Structure 1
Amino acid sequence: MNIFEKITNSYHKKTPFVAYRKPNEAVISGFFMDNDSLFFVDDFSEKGFVFAPFDNQQKAILFPINNSEFISEDLSFDAIKFKEKDFCNNDSSQEQHIKLVDKTIEVISNNDLKKVVISRKEDLEISDFNLIKTYQKLLQTYQNAFVYVWFHPKIGLWLGATPETLLNIENNTFKTMSLAGTQVYENTKNIVWKSKELEEQQLVTDFIESQLTGISSNLKIDKKETIKAGSLLHLRTKVTGELNENSTLKTLIRALHPTPAVCGLPRGNAKKFILANEFYSRSFYTGFLGELNLQKNKIETENSSLFVNLRCMNILDDNVSLFVGGGITKDSNPKNEWEETVSKSKVMKRVL
């Protein structure tokens, strides 16, 4: 039985599982539980697969390695040809989102907020959803992303293809990144970034540096670079360092999550604004997920590999919820911000 058959069986039996492929790798891995017990992370010393919400005051879910069958195999399936479906944008959603962006700009202009990430949920009805085909389309289309399917009968079904690493750590050496700024790829090498996107990305980088300075050493901040994620381009800055002896993985995660790339600055005030003003609950969108303290064999050291949950969808029966957002600063243009969310939603609509 290959891993796709394992996914199908687990989903039909309504038992928890996650299958995932890391960026630019040819291996797919999975955790498969045999009952619907719900486990939570306590202090991030646990071992398994973690699925954490945006709100870091809520509990993160764990598929413990000791309560799961772990599978890892070479990724192989026939190429899928598919046509993109047309989905109509909701005029009321556009008006609602633009009003919220207007309000956000006004608040930023009149207090100490520098940036707030505003998001929205887009609900679609589909009649012919096929879990395996949809997941394989994600794998095929977004090879440089962390592509996953996650299910727990008490929580729901999630799929995603995220371009953003929250954290990789082995022993005390970690890698993270700041990722911000978006534009549609126009099939050209002459890429120009506007001051708004450059400023937004620098805010994220500065935040990460300030958060890590007190708990790490040998911090290295790379130069900005442009990366491609599907049909979109983003600005990225890689960051590496070593965790201090008196700091823990929990300390590091709390320092980073949620980053300004998904929340805003100052983080506490931006988070309060989001929770009070967005028209829905983000749940696991803009949370994080991935391997927690895994040791693949006796020789390897423990490694955690965590990704921000972007470009994702939540599926219930024939209803699909897509989640998209963008960073708002004092220089944002509400109509442009709406168009950015439309471009981002197309990333996931391509596979439906």
Structure 2
Amino acid sequence: MSGFYQKAEEQLKNRLPFVVYSKPGETVAVGIFQKDASLHFTTNFKEEGFVFAPFSGGQFVLLPNEISDVLTEDYTRIAIENSNKSSEFDDTAKANFERLVQNGVDAICKGDFKKVVLSRKEAVSLEKPSPFALFKKLLSAYPTAFKYCFFHPETGMWLGATPEQLLKASGDRIKTVALAGTQVYHEGEIKWENKEQEEQEFVTEFILDGLEDYTAEKNSSKPYTFRAGNIVHIKTDIEARLHNKQDLGKIIKMLHPTPAVCGLPKEASREFILENEGYDREYYSGFLGELNRDFAKDMQHNSDLFVNLRCMKLQDATANLFIGCGITKDSVPEKEFFETVNKSLTLKNILGE
């Protein structure tokens, strides 16, 4: 076992907070190992460290740089066999989620909001629940995603491979993305329905409008198809220059939660989620990542934050998977349920389920 993973094993054994992660397209893993078990938060996003934020609420957990050890390790991707599991599902879970989706569609048709993102949780039993073995699989299976394993005794153990950037900042330059729509990847041309294109337009407009007061020189790409593991999305890249670098925290709070994980208008859709989903999302659809420091390059004034999608929480010998989809007036409940089934395969293939 390398010193990198030995350090991580020791942290976990001593129940000390840590995160190990790797950025999209890179082959270096970074580990941030907090030296005590205290719980820290950021409120103004001016600290240096690694932030782990929930979907709802203002308690953004922080592993502060000044009380942490940082290690890095290069790795080589290995071939990961895709288990190609059949789309098995629980009939009760299917009925419950389809009822939830129909309630969302009805609320949209009444004019309560334009879009809402609804989700469910699925428990999978594990024979050998080793978080670091799972993390190593994520590193090879999803090179274009942000892969991570995060632990704090107050939050529990979380792993994921998320395709969605919340915000990337370097000095006064920022980058973000609008991501929506989902299909199973297949060879040949990918075609998108009007519902999915409309969903993408909602997300893009929300971000551009929100950046208006804080930035100049805004640029956005044309929408394009982006592959994340066994599924594809519609993606738009957005760049801008900050008027004031001190406004970074305001932009983070403006973006989170994005329409891609909440809905539009934000407050009405978030209220619907909290009242109707029937479970606590916790850190699913929150955000996580480097705050004000690129740890691999040891550079200040660089933030790299991602939306916490395609994630799971490990509890004893159970992996709780969190999966959702965007709902508009044209959504078909059964189709949306099977979208969540397809998304769940991202992690089930890693679990061997």
Matches within 5 A, 1:114-129: 114-129=114-129
Partner of 1:325: 324
Q: Are 1:30 and 2:31 matched, yes or no?
A: yes
Partner of 1:48: 49
1: CA distance, partners of 2:129 / 2:86: 15
Post-superposition offset of 1:79: 5.1
1: CA distance, partners of 2:287 / 2:101: 25
State the TM-score, normalized to the length of structure 2. 0.95
Report how many aligned residue pairs link the two structures: 350
Partner of 1:205: 204
Matches within 5 A, 1:97-108: 97-108=97-108
Where 1:119 maps in the other structure, the secondary structure is strand
Is the Cα–Cα contact under 8 Å of residues 161 and 311 in structure 2 kept in the other structure? yes
Partner of 1:16: 17
Partner of 1:253: 252
Matches within 5 A, 1:124-273: 124-188=124-188, 190-245=189-244, 248-273=247-272
Paired amino acid for 2:162: T
1: CA distance, partners of 2:40 / 2:285: 21
Where 1:45 maps in the other structure, the secondary structure is coil
Q: Are 1:5 and 2:6 matched, yes or no?
A: yes
Q: Could you report, residue by residue, the CA deviation over 1:102-160 in whole angstroms, capped at 9, with x for unpaired residues?
A: 01100100024100000001112222222222111111100000000001122200000
Partner of 2:93: 93
- The runs of at least 4 consecutive aligned structure 1 residues that moved more than 3 Å come to 76-88, 295-301
Where 2:159 maps in the other structure, the secondary structure is strand
Paired amino acid for 2:100: L
Post-superposition offset of 1:177: 0.4
Paired amino acid for 2:303: S
2: CA distance, partners of 1:137 / 1:262: 25
Flag structure 1 segments of 5+ consecutive residues without an equivalent: none
Where 1:350 maps in the other structure, the secondary structure is helix
Is the Cα–Cα contact under 8 Å of residues 84 and 351 in structure 1 kept in the other structure? no
Paired amino acid for 2:19: V
2: CA distance, partners of 1:47 / 1:183: 37
Post-superposition offset of 1:180: 0.4
Where 1:14 maps in the other structure, the secondary structure is coil
Matches within 5 A, 1:70-81: 70-76=70-76
Q: Could you report, residue by residue, the CA deviation over 1:171-216 in whole angstroms, capped at 9, with x for unpaired residues?
A: 111000000000001122x111111100000100010011001111
State the TM-score, normalized to the length of structure 1. 0.95
Q: Could you report, residue by residue, the CA deviation over 1:201-244 in whole angstroms, capped at 9, with x for unpaired residues?
A: 01000100110011111010111111100000000000000111
Tell me: CA distance 1:177–1:77, structure 2 relative to 1, closer, same or farther (3 Å).
closer
Where 1:25 maps in the other structure, the secondary structure is coil
1: CA distance, partners of 2:297 / 2:278: 48
Post-superposition offset of 1:64: 0.3
2: CA distance, partners of 1:88 / 1:275: 28
Is the Cα–Cα contact under 8 Å of residues 44 and 249 in structure 1 kept in the other structure? yes
2: CA distance, partners of 1:320 / 1:288: 20
Where 1:331 maps in the other structure, the secondary structure is coil
2: CA distance, partners of 1:269 / 1:319: 33
Partner of 1:274: 273
Tell me: CA distance 1:94–1:16, structure 2 relative to 1, closer, same or farther (3 Å).
same
Is the Cα–Cα contact under 8 Å of residues 84 and 349 in structure 1 kept in the other structure? no
Flag structure 2 segments of 5+ consecutive residues without an equivalent: none
Partner of 1:64: 64
Is the Cα–Cα contact under 8 Å of residues 36 and 154 in structure 1 kept in the other structure? no
Tell me: CA distance 1:172–1:311, structure 2 relative to 1, closer, same or farther (3 Å).
same
2: CA distance, partners of 1:39 / 1:279: 29
Where 1:351 maps in the other structure, the secondary structure is helix
% identity of equivalent residues:
43
